[in-house]
Every structure is written in C-alpha cells, then in structure tokens.
Structure 1
C-alpha cells in the first residue's frame, strides 16, 4: 500500500464514522417525533409535513451560508487562523440575520403558510400551535449550527457527537412526557413535540458553546474577531457562496412545491410524502458520512494545490458511493415490509403507498448517493456553486416539478406515480452531473491569493 492510499484510508476512517453517527443522531430527532406523532394518525403526520417545509427551506438556505465552511477548511489546511476567524464571523452573522428574518416572517404569517398545504381548517389550526413553538428553534440553531459546521469543516466531530447524543436523549424523554402527558405533565400532543424540540435545542446549544469557550476549543472566536472581516473578503467569499444560497433556496422552494402537490392529492398523500422523506434521511446516512469526509479531505488537498491528488480522492469516493448505494438498495427492499409495521395506527392507504414508495427509493438510491457525494462533497469543496445552481434550476424546475404538478393536478395520478415523477429529479441530476464530475472543472483552490 503506497503512502497516498494509506493516508486516504486513515483520514477517511477518522472522518466518516463520526459523521455517520452525527447524522444518525440528527435523523433520530425526526424519526422519534414521527413515530410518536404517528400514533395520533394521518392528520398529525400531515401537520409535521406542512410545518416541516418551513424549516426545510430555512435549513437549505442556511446550508448555503454554511458553504462558507469550505473556506474554513481550506484556510485551516494552510494554517491561516486569522482568515479562519474571519470566515467564521461572516458565517455566524449571516446565519443569525437570515434566521431572524425567517422568525419574523413565519411568526406573522404562519396560518396562511400552513393553509397552503392543509385544506382542513381544524388540522391547520392545530399546526399553527405547533409552529408557534418551533419557530424559536430557528434562532437557537442559527448560532449552534454555525459552531457545529465550523468544527466539522476542520474534522472535529467528537464534541458534536456528545452534544447531539445528550440532545437526543432529552428530546426522547420530553417527547414521551409532553406528547402523551406522562410523569405528571399535561398531554399536549404534537405541540408537546414542539416544546421537546425547543428544550433540547436550547440545552444542546448551551453545552456546545459553553464547552467551546470554557475550554478554549478551536472556534472560541471573540466578539471582536467575529467582526474582523473586511469588505473585499466578504465579496470574495460571497462570490462563491451566493450562487450556493440561490441554489439551495430554489431547491428548497421546489421541495415546498412538491409538498404542495402531494397535499393537493390529500392528507394521506402528504402523510406518505412525510414518511418517505423521514426514512430517506436514514437511508442516506452512509453517504452523508462519505460526502463530509470528501469535502474535508478534497478541500484540504485543493488548498495545498494538490489538484491531482484531490481528483484521485474524488474517484475513490465515487466508487465507495456506488457500492454503498447498491447495498442500501438491497437493504431497503428486504426491510420495507417491516418498516411499514412501525406505524400500525396509520390508515391502510398510507401504509400501502409508503411501501410502494420505498421500492421506488431503492431503485433510484444510486442516484441519490452519487448526487450527494458529488454536489455536497466534491463540487462544494471546490466552490463550484454556480454550476450546481444551474443544475438545480434545470433538474428541479424544468424537469421534475412540471411532471409532479401534471401528475397531481392534471392527471390525478396516485401518490406512487407522482413520487416516481419526483424521483426523476435525482435521476436527471446524476446523469447531467456525471459530466461535470468527470471534467474536473470543480477542483479549484478557493484561498489562493486571499
């Protein structure tokens, strides 16, 4: 084994497992809430699906802001701590500003927003109560997630694992007590799930930030250092970040419109769509770990002008993604009947549709894996965000969305056929993105002369 291969395996093992564990913890929040709320029937799941679209759009826009972490990775690879702090400060201020804007807008217009997805007025009113609580999570996470992404961008995941585990345990306990009214607490239903999420988010943020500053751990950036960036620096960073923000924003709005189409079919279809998204997060956990490792390892090679080695790493990660996706597809086909039985209180219509959709997911899982690796792991490491913005505009807005709306509004297809149209986004994205991946045009040094 040559030294490059040894280094690749060493760094990959160091980064992949902690990332997968962190994704497991993060997705468990969603799954636990879905399992507990699912006991209240299709309408409760539909409320989570509708309110989740708001959080999803904000999360995608913030993930674009967190694209600044590509600069943190490359500056860290050059041992340039001053610019690491400037990039961190810009990322933190941008995240808080966007989340505060979302907080104000959703607080003022939560009822009209939910009515877009849920036509039943009683169910929509129930959703308003849930959103009234969950909206405060936006502000908490706007700070917490910046510290988490900054640490992750330099390969420091252990603290986030510990914090995430504590937060999940607290969330599970509070879900149980507040949703069902156990241990002397009032029975709050889905609103209780909102309070549980808020409490666990506050605790997680307090532990993470307290540890960072109490132990002077890596990103313990002072207030003066947070505002230390200058306008030429901002323009250079935003030149690559703004296309990513537009990309994530357009993609998340597209996903909101997908939910709108499923909601038009009916409450059962929207509930099925929510279940499919929740479990797809679990199915994708493996590739999230490899995409994270690729972003860090390839980004560091690019910062050191090791373009050939960065491309070699990209080829290795792509082979891993392909083999992992095939194994996951087989696992989904085997486990799908058992996964459906986790939700005995849902209608037979939702259970049947959900099982059929998992078969569709198994068929296209290779595309999901490759897209996540290429776009999040490789293209983002090289700041190739303008290309990914155009890729999303074509595959989401010109291909998948028209087909989904035609199926839901014109042809009145069953939810399985509409979901098949939805999955064509990933198929077309992988087919087009393959040529960009092979061209190596994404492999750029972002911090040269900065």
Structure 2
C-alpha cells in the first residue's frame, strides 16, 4: 500500500464516521417532526412540507455562503490563520444579513407564501402558526451553522456531533411533551413541534459557540475582527462564491416550484412529496458524510502546488460513492413495503403513493449519490461554482421543471408519475456532470489564485 493510499484511509476514517453521525442527527430533526406530526393527519404534514420549503430555500442560500469554507479549508491547509479568520468573519456577517432579510419577508407574508403550495384552509392555518415560531429558528441557526460549517471545514467534527446529539434529544423530548400535551402541558399540536425546534436550536447554539470560545478554537473571532475586512479580499472571495449563491438560489426556488406542482395535485400529493424528501435525505446520510470528507480532504490537497493527489482522492471517493449507492438502493427496496406503516394516521392514498415512490428512489439512488459527491465534495472544494450554476440552470429549469409542471397541471398524472419526472433532474445532472468530473477542470488552487491577485 502506497503512502498516499494509507493517508487517504486514515483521513477518511477520521472524518467520515463523525460526519455521517452528524448528518444522521441533523436529518433526524426533520424525520422526528414528520413522524410525530404525522399523527395529526394529512393537512398537518402538508403544512410542514409547505413551511419546510421556506426553510429549504434559506438553507440552500446559506449553503452557498458556506461555500466560503473552501477558502477556510485551503487557508487552514497552508497554515494561514489570519486569512482563515477573515474568511470566517465574512461568512458569518453574510449569513446573518441574508437571514434577517428572509425573516422579515416571511414574517410579513406568511399566509400568501403558504397559499402558493396549498389551497386547503386548515393546512394554511397550521402553517401560519408553525411559521410564526420557526422564523426565530432561522436566525439562531444562521449563526450556529456558520460555526459548525467552519469547524467541519478544518476537520473538527466531533464537537458539532456531540452538540447535535444533545439538541436532538431535547427536541424529541419536547416534541412528545408539547405536541401531545404530556407532563401537564397543553396539547399544542403542530405549534408544539415548532417550539420544540426553537428551544433545542437555542440550546445547541449556546453549547456550540460557548465551547468554541472556551477552548479557544481558531474561529473564536472577536467583534472587532468582523469589521476589519478589506475590499480586495471580499471581492475575490465573493467573486468565487456568488455563482454558488446564484446556483443554490435557483436550485432552491426550483425545488419550491416542485412543491407547488405537487401541491396542485392536492394535500395528499404534497404530504407524499414531504415524506419522500424526508426519507430520501435519511437514506443519503452516508453519502453526505463522504461528500463532506471529500471536500475537506480534497480541498487541503488542492492547496498544494500540484492537484495530482486531489484527483487521486476524487477517483477513490467516486468508487466509494458508487458502491454505497448500490447498497442503499437494495436496502430501500427491502424496507419500502414496510415504511408506510410508520404513518397509520395518514390516508390510504398517501401510504400507497409513498410506497411506490420509495421504489422509484431506489432505482435512481446512484445518481443522487454521485451528484452529491461530485458537486458538494469535489467541485466546491475547487471553487468550480460557475460550472455548477450552469449545470443547475440546464437540469432544473430547462429539463425537469417543465416536465413536472406539464405532468401536474396539464396531464394531471398520478403523483408517482410526476415524481418520476422530478427524478430526471438527478439523472440529467449525473450524465452531464460526469464529463466535468473526468476533465479535472474543477481542481483549482483557490489560495494561490487569491494571493496572486491581492
């Protein structure tokens, strides 16, 4: 075994397991809320789905801002702590400002926004009450997640994992107490789920940020450092990140429009779409961990003079992703006949559609895995954001959205057929993205480029 192979295995083992566990914990928030709210019926699940689209759009926009972690990783790899802290400060300010704008818009237009996804008055009312609380979660997470992403970008995953587990335990306990009215509390229903999320998010933020400053991690930024950024630095970092912001914005709006299309088919179809997305995220937890490890490991290799070792790592991660996807597909096929039984209070229509959609997911899971690994784990590590922006414009807006809307509005296809059109985004993305992956044009040294321009 070569030295490079040995180093790859050591680094991967150190990063992947904590990353997978962290992603598992993160996805558990959504799954737990869906499971517990599922007992309230189709309308409550549809309301969670509609409100979740706003959360999803914000999270995707912020994930674009978190693309700045590519600089943090490469500066860390070159032991340039000053510029690493500057990049972190820029990421923190950007995240908070964007979230404040979104919070103001959501607070002012809750009902009109929710009405885009569903016409059922009961479901809209559920959603309004839910959003009235969840909007505060957005602001808390806009700060907490910046610290978590920065820690992850330098390989410090254990802290965010431990804090995530604590927050999840709190969330589960409060969900049970507040949704169903246990231990002397009133039965709050869907609003109880929102309050549980708010409290657990606050506890997670206090623990994570407090520990960063107590242990004096590299990102324990002082207030004056936040306002000491210079324009050439900001311009260069934003020049690389803004295409990613546009990419994530267009992709998240596209996904919101998918929900609009499914909502046009009825509350049952939107509830089915929510369940499918929740479980898809859960089954992809493994590849999220590998994609994160790939981003850190490949990003650090790209900070060296030659990209050769980064490209070797990319090939290794792709093989791992392919094998993991095949295993996940088999698992989904085996358990899909039983998953719907987790939701006995949902309508027979939703249960039947959900079962069929899980089979569709199993058939295209390889595409989901490879896209996540290539785009998040490799292309972003090299700041190849302009390409991914163009990729999304073609696969989401030119190919898939027209087909989904034609199926929902024109042909009025069953939800399974519309979902099949929805998966064509991943199929087309993988087919086109493969050529970029093989070209190695994504393997760029961002730190060297930045230093040459400053």
Structure 2 length normalisation: TM-score? 0.98
Alignment of 1:11-410 (within 5 A): 11-410=11-410
How far apart are residue 168 of structure 1 and its match?
0.2
How far apart are residue 49 of structure 1 and its match?
0.3
- How far apart in 1 are the matches of 2:186 and 2:101? 32
Quote the residue 2:435 is aligned against: 435
Map Cα deviations across residues 140-177 of structure 1 (whole Å, 9 max, x no partner): 01100000000000000010011001100000010000
Contact 1:66/1:146 (8 A) holds in 2: yes
How far apart are residue 225 of structure 1 and its match?
1.8
Partner of 1:218: helix, strand, or coil?
A: coil
- How far apart in 2 are the matches of 1:122 and 1:434? 45
- How far apart in 1 are the matches of 2:328 and 2:305? 35
Alignment of 1:409-428 (within 5 A): 409-428=409-428
How far apart are residue 306 of structure 1 and its match?
3.1
> Which stretch shifts more, 334-343 or 196-205?
334-343
Map Cα deviations across residues 28-73 of structure 1 (whole Å, 9 max, x no partner): 1011100000011111100000000000000000000000000000
- Structure 1 portions without partners, runs of 5+: none
Contact 2:130/2:190 (8 A) holds in 1: yes
How far apart are residue 339 of structure 1 and its match?
1.2
Contact 1:379/1:443 (8 A) holds in 2: yes
Contact 2:81/2:218 (8 A) holds in 1: no
CA RMSD of aligned residues (A): 0.7
- How far apart in 2 are the matches of 1:151 and 1:375? 20
- How far apart in 2 are the matches of 1:422 and 1:293? 28
How far apart are residue 218 of structure 1 and its match?
2.6
Contact 1:117/1:260 (8 A) holds in 2: yes
Partner of 2:426: helix, strand, or coil?
A: helix
How far apart are residue 207 of structure 1 and its match?
0.6
How far apart are residue 122 of structure 1 and its match?
2.5
> Which stretch shifts more, 364-373 or 336-345?
336-345
Contact 2:265/2:412 (8 A) holds in 1: yes
- How far apart in 2 are the matches of 1:436 and 1:200? 41
Contact 2:85/2:218 (8 A) holds in 1: no
Contact 1:179/1:189 (8 A) holds in 2: yes
- Structure 2 portions without partners, runs of 5+: none
Partner of 1:447: helix, strand, or coil?
A: helix
Divergent runs of 4+, >6 A: none
- How far apart in 2 are the matches of 1:151 and 1:338? 38
Map Cα deviations across residues 266-289 of structure 1 (whole Å, 9 max, x no partner): 000000000000000111011001
- How far apart in 1 are the matches of 2:306 and 2:320? 21
- How far apart in 2 are the matches of 1:118 and 1:178? 26
Size of the alignment, in residue pairs?
450
Contact 1:85/1:226 (8 A) holds in 2: no
